[in-house]
Structure 1
């Protein structure tokens, strides 16, 4: 079958699509996770906690599809990345899945027994279901920036050479805190827009604090990455349109190497700038009680923060700290030319449908959580 798009172009397209899916997950499912983290603190009574739960109840399942799409895209478009990451981060992925499984169980079981202790247990289960993925995803990004300890054997099978607690290093934990603060900010913006007083006022105050914390922690991470973090750079020729083989290149490790893309692509500093300015403007919009503007600014900050490491690392997707030459890049870790093309056709057809349906759902569900859903015979959680 003749493929009208060059292999190297398809690889860049799919690198960008993977980034878009991760950003979509952070923006859409991010406010779900942030709301769950805030649940025990913003809801002072059972009714207030029910309002918070029902603010995300109609949309959380659809939002989580972005996570599934991201995992499916990495499996189909970047098989070596999928294999190495799910092997190296196995325990972290398992904990994440357990936390995500807690969410639907807590949503459904919380109202089954009219008992304060019973409901409190499930409220804290929702809190864990929000906090654990937010923290772990940030820690994962921190470890990607430092390099993951893996190598390939003679048969190109990924072998993880590190341990679980090795992933919990200071920089990775800093990235985890950035992720948690970022999603708390985004969740607070959503809660403020979807609830009435006094919940909205508490969310406003939490959002202002989380916005400033996000700004400070993200800036600290940038300073650390610029001055102390070792980055990776390809020093040999690499055929961008050749069949995938991650062992046909030479990679050097040097402090500040991740900053070279900002010199190579003058537009790329827009991502960290968006992360910083978005968080700052979100804090201002919270203070001014501009609900929609606060949500837009927090979403912009999320986009910038998630895009920053992706743009800094390009073309690396998963660098190896054990064997830098085995690092996985956009040029040598993809599926075949034909596979990427057929998948792109599917994306062009179905992604607009998904986006159109998502837009319609949010339009239908716009506005504050109505009180009538809690009347007898209603369908509220």
Structure 2
């Protein structure tokens, strides 16, 4: 009997050993984290579009989910999706990177892309989003900064954070005036509506641009396109601030600098920036800043009836003192590192050049000139070719005529 028990124990031990060996040598259970997180992101995207707060909360930690949904609640979205680009798991925690793509309903011709960093936790076998933030040096989205308030105008959508609704309404009124004014000057096909973002502060504005706040101090507004490239507004008290495709332009306001402007200056800022939206599809790497910024200022001041001396005080001071610029402003003159007077003269010089073309050749030719420059394949030869083909002049003749115009208008 004892021998049989020993043999049985030996047999049982052998079976257990074989089972253990088979377990060690077999395939491990597959890690489904990647697929699970993709499904989680899809559920969150669906909840955002469906305005499903319960569904949104089910995808994240309670407090973060409540805040995230509240921040987005007022944003009119036509699409919202995530593409998982990276996942690093450590037990029941994980970090992920994803590309967020979204469109604002009625305004964006194509999705805006934003890189996101997500922190994930797993409980009871299910993954949840603990945080969803800009990845690395990526710019903020407006809802990253707090609950968004939306105000609709006839030609505009104003989205703000930390701003009273009545102030956002004032931006919508200004934008609604700017859009027809721009369309009257630039009738080449554009959407004829704008999205204006009004953050809480200069620092928040810089967050939307993914740039240091110091670079935008005194800048009333900027316009950005789908790749985050900014056309800066002028730092002068009177004014505000490409690619071939422009699916989603945004005018971003610096509430600190904008708030000190008078009513006329505020309108010029919004009209200037709206001009950048309208002309972006015709503004390329071949377009010099004196033309893009000068044209935007020309539209901004076109119906204001202001004399050149009032619009171009820095340039008037230089010309009156006998210092007539020898050449049109170059791109470096528009840099934020330039002193304020030099920067102002650059904008004023560009404005006067566009005003000269409109006065001497007509507004139609000015628009034709702008388009011809942007259609050139590269910067070299773009202005020269447009001067020759549209205005039938040369760079030397045009520069001399511009210098004479400055003396006549400002001297």
User: Same-fold call, TM > 0.5?
Assistant: no
Kindly name which structure, 1 or 2, has the bigger radius of gyration based on alpha carbons: 2
Q: Greater strand share, 1 or 2?
A: 2
Task: Give the TM bin, normalised by the shorter chain.
Answer: under 0.3
Q: Greater helix share, 1 or 2?
A: 1
Whose RCO is larger (CA < 8 A, sep 6+)? 1
- Normalising by structure 1, we get a TM-score of 0.23
